[in-house]
Chain A
């Protein structure tokens, strides 16, 4: 088929005489144009690279190859095999899905497969090329959402006051209803041109068309979505001139192609030059319906009848002009049914309305036509207003929700504000523009229009209070996305879902891609009618960002994942390291060697540390300097241990708990001078610990200063029986155990680099943790590796370190503890000094201390000859068929020639020698035995080596 440049897919198809443009979600009914405003999803298409393209806004391009989504078989929309579901609709009422899964249970998996096969719009294309959609930030003084008459007027007023204005509109061109609702004349177009002319004279206004404001966030952050990207705009004030969504009437077959919203027909005419039908019946309940009839007449469409739901008809000039044009006007009538011929409209069955508003079918008459237009009312496009925190109220005068109270810096203008007549909209926009500019710091109070003076809501009703008509044969749709009929709502209410939030979830009204733009208001009206309560009391559902679907690629953006690298990263890379993520760091997991498995490499690294010497990069540890006369007191309060008595030149293990007594971090505290401590935290805990230290330091007002030097210092642990031999030639420091004992801390130089050096024993061997400024890390590492080459040095990674520390029974916070573990459960009682006057979490620990333990961390081993599939971390400890605990760490120790591990078990299973079962993969049980830690070198002689 062919079309014109400037066409969208829908307009080109409609112009070519194709009216069935898609299939509905549930019953696979044919669908055509509804809003033609991108407010419905009747026309959803896909091509080789994209899914769910919206035909109403997808520009027509040369050689497009498109297919409708949600059809089965090879015949596309016309031959959709799933159309049979329309005939079975009586068996698929609302709530069918939930009930199907409920009983019988054995059918649930089959239903799941069926639903997954049948449902969903479009198929994900895993081979589609990646589209780069970098996000942007944007800034302005006043953001105007919507460039209809009120929005344009607001933008002009705000910019004239000096504000930097950004005005956005989801449509391809600015102008809003001025561009397509012309009442058969040219005045609207002329006014639009005047407004655009005024705007062009203002250099401080930017207009972005084709841009949807899809989400509002605190402090006037608004996400703007265009074809290429998401822009996060920060404004000083925001004007919502977002207009309204036209609402459908509910009558039988109101979804047949050819039945459309009146504004949809106007858009076809004025935006794309497409005649929407030859002969129309207009269903109206407002002045706009008559104006649509005038537009139709002007463009050669015969109006067979104007069916007005109101008894009094339309008293305005538009009403008189329609009558003067000879159009048959039926007041107090409704359309009871759209008569379908094949997949399109062939007539309208009209009925007079009774006093109670019910169709009097005894007097029904048929009118031939090939199109039915619905002009029965509107609902405000207030989704973002709700997100901004606006309080809305239902105004009976205009039969719509209007803002009752707006947050600071947020303004509403135009139809979203309940203001409909053009002059009033322009004035309301001007008022909002001036107020928003003033809020942003521009203009003066004198320039303000009085809000009372400006907001002039109509005395007429642009919307009908209940344009909804039941029909014994149903197929009168309320939600076109979800194929929800009127009776579905009555059934839902009868089943007890008669609260608007429950009704929404049970029926799924408003939960389709249109997000309720054409269904939520009618659902509220129906529920109010069912409950016999005013609409105000029924309320509305919550509107969350994004109120309009946004492509996943836009949300992903470029994808920023900030990862840290130690200064030694390239050295590890060159040595064959395979990296793993540890928090936001890259760390070497192990160093690969050609022809060797990971396990072999790790065991060689472990062997090097146990028998010779190894070097590991521990620069990822959190590192803090703490200064000041109250530094020791600060540590006393922060950590569970005692630090006031820590001697200069010595270190001590430190445990941190939170207010509830849960272990949250550990590390080593060293004292460099009376008023200067240097200490480490866990790799993943450093940022949180520093934040907490800073907070408490501010709160306590101690004379202490904390400096986070995590990134400023590199650190490496030289460990193994030969480590002293490696280090000695590189430093003038006396490394003898007398001069530099176990747990000692020294400052000096290694290989000409100033260092802080701690004698530590995390891996259970003679070891030196050497800290130096990051800029010297490579010099230091290279010197150690060179000096170590004669001693068999090799770098080791996280995997080897985990095994080495496990052999020593040293815990890793976050692995051997969880978010509820207290020091009493983690076998850390020795590190808790409950007799101190105060430390964070002490009060909780005092309470916990008196309570019975629920579980305890113990060491365990498997039998020496165990050869089966070993348990893994997180496997469960089972007693009498019930879960009794879990494994936190486990590994095979070559040094001990058996599997060793740690597990949480109940206190009555924690005694040495207790045997227990672990359920391993596949469900088989593995017997383990509680043993004391350390497993390796129980007296720790090796790390204390003289």
Chain B
């Protein structure tokens, strides 16, 4: 693994918010923001630092199983492995994996993955956003044409759709009794998506929050040896 510091696709966008920065998973992230700890009805956060990878090809499922990775129940479904890793099946032969905060599974799998017939690595450099709060659905109906209100945790669903004109990957799970949506997009669209969602979130009384508000374990993972 390279020693070079990683930079979030949203780095320049959150830098304007006067964040308290720290390095997590080799990436400089906004640990805390001025709005943290308040009563935001809608909060937006950058989780791009979480390690992620993709693999596709007719043998991708077989390779993942051989690595002990749990499989979602079907296409457009996701699950969490015992190690907390998120595994989403985007198509019959395409998978998206993202580690939990502090996890090392993706790093291990990435090191193992080599292109082979039917197993093709997908380099992921997504902007990863987290949307949470009581008014999150109000934001979603202004930005995306998917009806999320029928989603249930018993049927964990992941969809590839368009949000404010950007192709995104979205899934939902509850967080602290609030709806929480994870959104990934091509990093080059990240700043536009972030700024647009933040503008709408602010109109709805929301704003941006730091990673510590979402992942309480973050402070223990900050790399204090680098600045």
Which residue numbers of A lie inside 8 Å of B, CB to CB? 134-139, 232, 234, 558, 560-567, 569-570, 585, 619, 625, 627-629, 673, 675-676, 703, 705, 707, 709-713, 749, 751-754, 773-779
Residues of chain B within 8 A of A777, CB atoms compared? 7
Q: A134-B200, A560-B196 are in contact. Are A713 and B145 (CB under 8 A)?
A: no
Q: A703-B117, A703-B118, A707-B122 are in contact. Are A774 and B188 (CB under 8 A)?
A: yes
Q: Mark B19-61, 1 if CB is under 8 A from A, else 0.
A: 0000000010000000000000000000000000010110000
Contact of A569 among B4, B122, B191 (CB under 8 A): B191
In the assembled complex, the CB of A938 is this many whole angstroms from the nearest CB of chain B, namely 38
Q: A137-B141, A560-B165, A628-B120 are in contact. Are A775 and B6 (CB under 8 A)?
A: yes
Contact between chains at A776 and B7 (CB < 8 Å): yes
B3 at the interface (CB under 8 A from A): yes
Residues of chain A within 8 A of B225, CB atoms compared? none
Contact between chains at B145 and A234 (CB < 8 Å): yes
Contact of A567 among B115, B145, B147, B187 (CB under 8 A): B187
B186 at the interface (CB under 8 A from A): yes
Contact of A705 among B9, B56, B164, B200 (CB under 8 A): B56
Q: A567-B187, A625-B120 are in contact. Are A774 and B9 (CB under 8 A)?
A: yes
In the assembled complex, the CB of B157 is this many whole angstroms from the nearest CB of chain A, namely 15
B124 at the interface (CB under 8 A from A): yes
Within 8 A of A (CB), among B85-117: 115, 117
Q: Mark B162-189, 1 if CB is under 8 A from A, else 0.
A: 0011100000000000000000001111
In the assembled complex, the CB of B137 is this many whole angstroms from the nearest CB of chain A, namely 11
Contact between chains at B124 and A712 (CB < 8 Å): yes
Q: A566-B188, A627-B121 are in contact. List 11 more A-B contacts (CB 8 A).
A: A134-B142, A560-B164, A565-B188, A628-B120, A673-B115, A711-B125, A774-B125, A775-B125, A777-B7, A779-B4, A779-B7
B227 at the interface (CB under 8 A from A): no
Residues of chain A within 8 A of B6, CB atoms compared? 775-776
Measured in the bound complex, the distance between the Cα atoms of B131 and A199 in whole Å is: 35
Residues of chain A within 8 A of B27, CB atoms compared? 775
Measured in the bound complex, the distance between the Cα atoms of B186 and A585 in whole Å is: 13
Measured in the bound complex, the distance between the Cα atoms of B27 and A570 in whole Å is: 17
Q: In this complex, what residue of B is CB-closest to A754?
A: B2
A-B contact pairs, 16 of them (CB 8 A): A137-B142, A139-B149, A232-B145, A563-B192, A567-B9, A627-B57, A627-B120, A628-B117, A675-B115, A703-B117, A705-B56, A707-B121, A751-B4, A752-B2, A774-B125, A775-B8
Contact between chains at A752 and B3 (CB < 8 Å): yes
Residues of chain A within 8 A of B144, CB atoms compared? 137
Measured in the bound complex, the distance between the Cα atoms of B197 and A738 in whole Å is: 52
Residues of chain A within 8 A of B11, CB atoms compared? 570
Residues of chain A within 8 A of B5, CB atoms compared? 779
Contact between chains at B4 and A776 (CB < 8 Å): yes
Contact of B141 among A136, A625, A773 (CB under 8 A): A136
In the assembled complex, the CB of A562 is this many whole angstroms from the nearest CB of chain B, namely 4
Which among B189, B193, B200 has the highest number of chain A CB atoms within 10 Å?
B189
Q: In this complex, what residue of B is CB-closest to A136?
A: B141
Measured in the bound complex, the distance between the Cα atoms of B97 and A407 in whole Å is: 42
Measured in the bound complex, the distance between the Cα atoms of B11 and A566 in whole Å is: 12
In the assembled complex, the CB of B223 is this many whole angstroms from the nearest CB of chain A, namely 15
Contact between chains at B165 and A562 (CB < 8 Å): yes
Contact between chains at B120 and A234 (CB < 8 Å): no
Contact of B147 among A136, A234, A560, A775 (CB under 8 A): A234
Contact between chains at B123 and A707 (CB < 8 Å): yes
Q: In this complex, what residue of B is CB-closest to A585?
A: B188
Residues of chain B within 8 A of A703, CB atoms compared? 117-118
In the assembled complex, the CB of B192 is this many whole angstroms from the nearest CB of chain A, namely 6
In the assembled complex, the CB of B129 is this many whole angstroms from the nearest CB of chain A, namely 15
Contact of B120 among A566, A567, A707, A773 (CB under 8 A): A707
Contact between chains at A627 and B115 (CB < 8 Å): yes
Contact of A709 among B7, B9, B123, B149 (CB under 8 A): B123
In the assembled complex, the CB of B158 is this many whole angstroms from the nearest CB of chain A, namely 19
Q: A234-B147, A779-B7 are in contact. Are A564 and B120 (CB under 8 A)?
A: no
In the assembled complex, the CB of B164 is this many whole angstroms from the nearest CB of chain A, namely 4
Contact between chains at A139 and B147 (CB < 8 Å): yes
Residues of chain A within 8 A of B123, CB atoms compared? 625, 707, 709, 712-713, 773
Residues of chain A within 8 A of B12, CB atoms compared? 569-570
Contact between chains at B141 and A567 (CB < 8 Å): no
Measured in the bound complex, the distance between the Cα atoms of B6 and A159 in whole Å is: 53
Residues of chain A within 8 A of B121, CB atoms compared? 625, 627, 707
Contact between chains at A711 and B4 (CB < 8 Å): no
Residues of chain A within 8 A of B186, CB atoms compared? 564, 710-712
In the assembled complex, the CB of A770 is this many whole angstroms from the nearest CB of chain B, namely 13
Q: A705-B56, A773-B125 are in contact. Are A753 and B4 (CB under 8 A)?
A: yes
Measured in the bound complex, the distance between the Cα atoms of B27 and A778 in whole Å is: 12
Residues of chain A within 8 A of B189, CB atoms compared? 562, 564, 711
Residues of chain A within 8 A of B166, CB atoms compared? 562
Contact between chains at B120 and A774 (CB < 8 Å): no
Measured in the bound complex, the distance between the Cα atoms of B49 and A755 in whole Å is: 20
Contact between chains at A778 and B7 (CB < 8 Å): yes
Residues of chain B within 8 A of A565, CB atoms compared? 188, 191-192
Residues of chain B within 8 A of A779, CB atoms compared? 4-5, 7
Measured in the bound complex, the distance between the Cα atoms of B20 and A339 in whole Å is: 81
Measured in the bound complex, the distance between the Cα atoms of B223 and A595 in whole Å is: 45
In the assembled complex, the CB of B33 is this many whole angstroms from the nearest CB of chain A, namely 19
In the assembled complex, the CB of B188 is this many whole angstroms from the nearest CB of chain A, namely 4
Measured in the bound complex, the distance between the Cα atoms of B122 and A705 in whole Å is: 10
Residues of chain A within 8 A of B8, CB atoms compared? 775
Residues of chain B within 8 A of A778, CB atoms compared? 7
Contact between chains at A562 and B164 (CB < 8 Å): yes
In the assembled complex, the CB of A38 is this many whole angstroms from the nearest CB of chain B, namely 27
Residues of chain B within 8 A of A776, CB atoms compared? 2, 4, 6-7
Measured in the bound complex, the distance between the Cα atoms of B142 and A554 in whole Å is: 13
Measured in the bound complex, the distance between the Cα atoms of B7 and A565 in whole Å is: 14
Measured in the bound complex, the distance between the Cα atoms of B165 and A332 in whole Å is: 62
Measured in the bound complex, the distance between the Cα atoms of B115 and A705 in whole Å is: 10
Measured in the bound complex, the distance between the Cα atoms of B227 and A904 in whole Å is: 56
Measured in the bound complex, the distance between the Cα atoms of B125 and A324 in whole Å is: 84
Measured in the bound complex, the distance between the Cα atoms of B27 and A710 in whole Å is: 21
Contact between chains at B117 and A629 (CB < 8 Å): yes
Contact of B125 among A232, A712, A749 (CB under 8 A): A712
Contact between chains at B188 and A564 (CB < 8 Å): yes
In the assembled complex, the CB of A395 is this many whole angstroms from the nearest CB of chain B, namely 38
Measured in the bound complex, the distance between the Cα atoms of B186 and A619 in whole Å is: 13
Residues of chain B within 8 A of A707, CB atoms compared? 54, 56, 120-123
Contact of B142 among A135, A710, A711, A774 (CB under 8 A): A135
Measured in the bound complex, the distance between the Cα atoms of B195 and A561 in whole Å is: 12
Residues of chain B within 8 A of A753, CB atoms compared? 2, 4
Measured in the bound complex, the distance between the Cα atoms of B4 and A749 in whole Å is: 10
Residues of chain B within 8 A of A749, CB atoms compared? 2
Measured in the bound complex, the distance between the Cα atoms of B6 and A901 in whole Å is: 43
Measured in the bound complex, the distance between the Cα atoms of B48 and A567 in whole Å is: 14
Q: In this complex, what residue of B is CB-closest to A571?
A: B12
Residues of chain B within 8 A of A705, CB atoms compared? 56-57, 118, 120
Q: A703-B117, A749-B2, A776-B2 are in contact. Are A138 and B141 (CB under 8 A)?
A: yes
In the assembled complex, the CB of A494 is this many whole angstroms from the nearest CB of chain B, namely 50
Contact between chains at A774 and B4 (CB < 8 Å): no
In the assembled complex, the CB of A137 is this many whole angstroms from the nearest CB of chain B, namely 5
In the assembled complex, the CB of A682 is this many whole angstroms from the nearest CB of chain B, namely 16
Which among B9, B57, B187 has the highest number of chain A CB atoms within 10 Å?
B187
Q: In this complex, what residue of A is CB-closest to B118?
A: A703
Measured in the bound complex, the distance between the Cα atoms of B141 and A165 in whole Å is: 17
In the assembled complex, the CB of A573 is this many whole angstroms from the nearest CB of chain B, namely 8
Residues of chain B within 8 A of A774, CB atoms compared? 9, 125, 187-188
Measured in the bound complex, the distance between the Cα atoms of B116 and A673 in whole Å is: 11
State the 9 A-B residue pairs at the shortest beta-carbon distance, nearest first: A562-B165, A705-B120, A711-B186, A139-B147, A775-B6, A564-B188, A712-B125, A711-B188, A570-B12
In the assembled complex, the CB of A766 is this many whole angstroms from the nearest CB of chain B, namely 25
